[in-house]
Amino acid sequence: MKRLVLLITTLLLYTVVNQQLVLTQVAYWKILGNSLTNPSTHFVGTTDNVDLVFRTNNTEKMRILTGGNFGIGTSSPGYKLDVSGTGRFTNALSLTGGVTGVSPTPQLSLGSYSNSGSSASVSHIDLYGGLTGIGYRPGIMDLIATSSIRFYRNNQGPGTMDILATMKESQQGGYMGIGTENPAAVLHVYGDGYFQSPNPGIRVEGAGYAGRYVDIWSGQSEHIETTNDLSIQAGAGIGFYTGGSNSRMTISSGGAVGIGTTAYGSDMLAVCGSIHCTAITTNTGWCDFVFDDDYRLTPLSELEKFIKAEHHLPGIPTAQDIEAHGLNLGDAEMKMMQKIEELTLHLIDQDKEIKRLKNDNEALKEQFSSVLHK
């Protein structure tokens, strides 16, 4: 009987201890690991409306708020992940989503990769799944995009961003725009430009034409220097100014040049002011026809009548004509020479007449002398 009671007591104790072990195994997490867990019922956390706190050395290091925000180094995380302190990711960090209605889905990746062109590792930021990014290697920063890279300034609120610069793909390899979203050349500036150089100067050299260039200098003296002919092309006229906005010379779209005036009229050169030069050459023809045999030399008697009636020489413009229309130097020079040649012919005729009269006079003297001596 005693043995039976002892056996029953032993079984009861074993059952109680075994149940306690099972109960202990289910109710508490072991520090060396657990088994026989059920994710739907077994977890680390709280079942009431309080935060979950993680401590080391009895100091709080991490906290999960009841709303789900996870804080590292902070007891009041304001985001799903809020880190107060430095962080390090051995591999890439990828962030996706947040914007709807955009294709491809916005994505931000932070990481590094091995540059195929060298053994150096390249740090980079990828946007939109590698279609756009920022890369960095020692001494070099890369901006990568499949179409354009734009820089904006937003100082007036959403939707009012001002474009600062654009880098755009083109057949020439790339266009750079400043102040424009759509550059139309390798360098396209919308707005004023300011260049400052310590040399000082700006050099423009054509690709494939080494040694041929145009320099624009500004320093002790301002000038444009070129190694070859300098051509200026304009769709309309060209103006030259000095002293600010004072127009000094203009070239019309038809090629007329005006110095001090834009009243070209029908002339190719119009000058308002005096001219000092060492020679002027004209191609208006000449007046050697005066010496032709069939040229009619106006008798001096007719010339005298014309001058008394018109107060100017035949073929010469009047003072009123010159005041109204100016003097054509080439035409005036030819007509002056025509009059000189006509005067020369008159002098020749007069010289002949004088010689004839002298001969007649000598003959009369001889006749008179012979009569006296008879």
**For the segment 246-289, what is each residue's pLDDT rounded down to a tens digit?**
888 999 988 999 998 888 888 888 988 888 989 888 888 899 99
φ and ψ at 307, to 5 degrees?
-65, -40
Domain ranges of the chain: 46-87, 89-115+122-144, 235-276, 288-372
Instruction: Answer with the residue of higher pLDDT: 1 or 234.
Output: 234
What pLDDT is attached to residue 169? 74
pLDDT confidence tier of residue 79, bands split at 50, 70 and 90: very high
Q: Tokens 């070099």 belong to which residue? A: 140
Residue 21 has which token pair? Answer: 């072990």
What pLDDT is attached to residue 359? 92
Residue 116 has which token pair? Answer: 């195929």
φ/ψ region of 300 (left if φ > 0, alpha if ψ in -120 to 50, else beta) reads: alpha
User: Mind listing the pLDDT tens digit for each residue in 211-243?
Assistant: 777 777 776 667 777 777 878 888 888 898 888
φ and ψ at 189, to 5 degrees?
-115, 125
Provide the whole-model pTM: 0.44
What pLDDT is attached to residue 19? 45
What pLDDT is attached to residue 220? 62
- For residue 111, pLDDT over 80 is answered with no
For 35-56, what is the mean pLDDT?
A: 88
Name the percent of the chain lying above pLDDT 70.
75
DSSP letter for each residue of 298-318: PPHHHHHHHHHHHSS-TTSPP
